[in-house]
Structure 1
Amino acid sequence: MDPFQQMHDWKNNLDQFFGGNFWNDFEHIVKPPIPAINLYELDNEIIVYVNLPGVSDRKNVNIYLDDNVLELKGETFPVQQGGKLLKQEILQGDFSRRVELPCTVRKDKVSAVLKHGVMRIQLFKLSGNRKKLKQINYEIEE
C-alpha cells in the first residue's frame, strides 16, 4: 500500500474521530507553510520577505493583493546536487499562501523585487488606517 495513502487515511480517521478538520490545527507543525515569510510593520508601510529558492522566472510566482490579504501562488524548485539526498529541509513544489496583513494597504503603490531567492514586497498603509487619538471636549454640569 502507498505510504501517502496510509497517512491520508490516518488524517481522515482523526478528523472523523475528533470532528471537523482536527488535523488542520496541527498541520503547520508537521509541515511548515511554504514559502517561509518574514513580515515587518513600519510607521507607513509593511515589508514582506518571501523565501523562494530556485525561482528565477516571473512565470513561477504570482502575487495578489486584496485590502489586508497578500496571496502568493507558484512553485519553488529543488536545489539540485549530484549524489544521494540524505536530508531535505528546503521545502519545494507548488504552493499557495495567504498572509493576513495587520492593516489595509494601498493597491496602487506596491513594489516587489526578487534577488538571490528572496523576494522583498513593499506595501504602503492606507492613510485612513493610522489611528490617532481624538480629544473630545466635554462640559461640566453643576
Structure 2
Amino acid sequence: MNQFKDWKTNLDRFFGQDFWGDFDGMMKPAVPAINLYQYDNELLCFVNIPGMNHPKNVDVLVDHSTLTLSGKIEINNRGGHQIKSEIADGSFERSIDLPFPVRHDKVEATYKHGLLVIQLHRYISDSTKQRPITIRHLEDE
C-alpha cells in the first residue's frame, strides 16, 4: 500500500496536483444511466432512477431531437459513516441527443421499480407527406 502512495505522490509532483482530478470526470458514469432503443417510428428510453419518492420529482423535457431529464435521487440514510458510494445521489440533469426529431405532444412516461420508461414518437412534418402537384397547362392561357 505504501508503494502505491509513493507512486501517486511522485506522479503528483511530476504532473501537478490536478492530474487525478482530470481523470475523475472521465471515470464517473453518466447519471442517470439510460438505455435507448429505436424502433421504426418510436424510441423507448429506460432511465435508472433509484430512490425516487414520486415521479413529480423528475422533469422530462422534449425539444425536437433532444430529451432532457432533471431531478433528484435521494437515498435517505441518516447516521453512520458511508464507506462505499456506488449509487449516485443528489441533483442531476442530463440531455440525450435523439436519432430523429420527436413529437413533444405525444410522450408517455411511467415509473415502476426504480425505472422511468419514456416512450417517444417520431415527428413527421407535413412537408414530408406526398401531395399531388397541379400542372398548369400553359397553352390554354
**Normalized against structure 2, the TM-score is what?**
0.67
Which structure is larger by alpha-carbon Rg, 1 or 2? 2
Q: 1:10 aligns with which of 1, 10, 18?
A: 18
1:104 is matched with 101
Number of matched residues? 109
1:121 is matched with 118
Comparing 117-126 and 49-58, the one that deviates more: 49-58
Distance 1:26 1:84, change over 3 A: closer
Distance 1:117 1:79, change over 3 A: farther
Take 1:106 and 1:33, find their aligned partners in 2: how far apart are those partners?
25
Q: CA RMSD in A?
A: 2.7
2:33 is matched with 36
Take 1:81 and 1:38, find their aligned partners in 2: how far apart are those partners?
31
When you count strand as a share of all residues, which structure comes out higher? 1
Distance 1:31 1:80, change over 3 A: same
- 1:1-45: per-residue Cα shift (whole Å, max 9, x none)? xxxxxxxx727xx9xxxxxxxx5x972x32111111000001110
1:78 is matched with 75
User: Structure 1: which 5+ residue stretches go unaligned?
Assistant: 1-8, 15-22, 132-142
Query: How far apart are 1:117 and its partner, in Å?
Result: 1.1
Query: How far apart are 1:123 and its partner, in Å?
Result: 0.1
